[in-house]
Amino acid sequence: MTELYRDIEILKTACQSPRAQLEHYLSQGKKVVGCFAPYAPEELIHACGMIPMGLWGGQTELKLVKSWLPAFACPIMQANLELGLKGAYEGLSAVVIPAICDTLRCMTQNWRFGVTSIPMIPIVYPQNRTSPASVDYLISEFESVLAQLSALTGQMMSEASLCRSIEIYNEHNQAMRDFSEAAVRHLDVITPTVRHAVFKSAFFFEKSEHTAIVKRITASLNALPDCSFTGKKVILTGITAEPDALLHILEENHIAVTGDNLAQETRQYSADTPLAGGGALKRLALQWNARKGCSLIHELGKPRGALLAGLCKATGADGVINCLMKFCDPEEYDQPWMVSDLEKNGYPCLTIEIDPLGTSAEQARTRIQTFAEML
């Protein structure tokens, strides 16, 4: 148990101080590239010998960003730009911004002209993923990103290094899925805040390092007797379930998280890159096309509700909490279909507004308490 809690504490510390993680890698002489979340092509950065590090904003007062973004822009992106304008991201060799929503599209140019000390590398993913042309298009986008990354390192990435990075990321995907399965059997140890820390911390470590820690945690859990949890169980969906104050309210009401469909958590690990089927760039493109159930990715139909219902059944969850990001149009658009499909399958859904810039989630407390009593 001692090793288990020590490993959990390592990951919690990384979440609490991403800057310390950045300084750690810089002290080793490594270049670090900031990744606007979600879906930056981390494998390309990793294959170039650099460290991808997720940028998820943080608790900061919004001042400078008001001249660049409207007040109704995504809170995460407002915080990211505010921190960039304040110089909090100095040390990064570049940032990669995937233009997958309206705010992120604006961010590319706002960052280019507002944070001139840190180069910005954009990537635009195809909307029509059912067309064979989407693969060719995405390969060309990857090649553009690689050209700009190579300018930072002074050398071109090799096919062999990208293949190795793909293997490392696939292994990490599996490690995170294995942890998620083990966590359901140990809800006494893996509380909502602990579970969140294990997933979020992945954005602040070189992936093979994070894989090793998560595998140790999973092995420690598997060595323990299964927990008989008597409280209510829920699935979380949305972009993120922050601030942590929200997760503390779940714990106070004896509610456990048995799974999620959060962009910050398991959505990242739903699709592995094929190990065959063409060159490494083509296989990365095929991985993008295989993703399902995310509001930020265009797809015919709305499978998210059915996917969540299946997850509820598989993990024994009593219902779903929809963590609706403040001012997030794609998430709002998904909500009616998702809730309807969940209700058809007999699973209630509570929608609460999420503002990561807030320090309190008290306005959600009564609604969560009432939801727990209904389950």
* CA–CA gap between residue 185 and residue 183 (Å, rounded): 5
Structural domain boundaries in the chain: 18-153
Q: Cα(261)–Cα(180) distance, rounded to whole angstroms?
A: 12
Higher pLDDT, residue 215 or 293: 215
Output the pLDDT for position 282: 97
pLDDT number for residue 1: 75
For the segment 87-129, what is each residue's pLDDT rounded down to a tens digit? 999 999 999 999 999 999 999 999 999 999 999 999 999 988 8
Average pLDDT of span 195-215: 98
114-123 residue pLDDT tens = 999 999 999 9
**How wide is the angle at C-alpha 322 spanned by C-alphas 316 and 324, nearest 5°?**
160
User: Out of 73-82, 118-127, 359-368, which region has the weakest mean confidence (pLDDT)?
Assistant: 359-368
Q: Given the structure tokens 């209630």, which residue do they identify?
A: 348
pLDDT in tens, 143-199: 999 999 999 999 999 999 999 999 999 999 999 999 999 999 999 999 999 999 999
The domain 18-153 is placed in CATH, from the list 3.40.50.11890, 3.40.50.1580, 3.90.420.10, 3.30.300.30, at 3.40.50.11890
pLDDT, tens digit (0-9, with 9 covering 90-100), for 227-283 = 999 999 999 999 999 989 999 999 999 999 999 999 999 999 999 999 998 999 999
Q: Which residue has the tokens 């309210």?
A: 249
| Residue 351 phi, psi dihedral angles, 5° rounding | -105, 125
308 close to 364: Cβ distance less than 8 angstroms = no
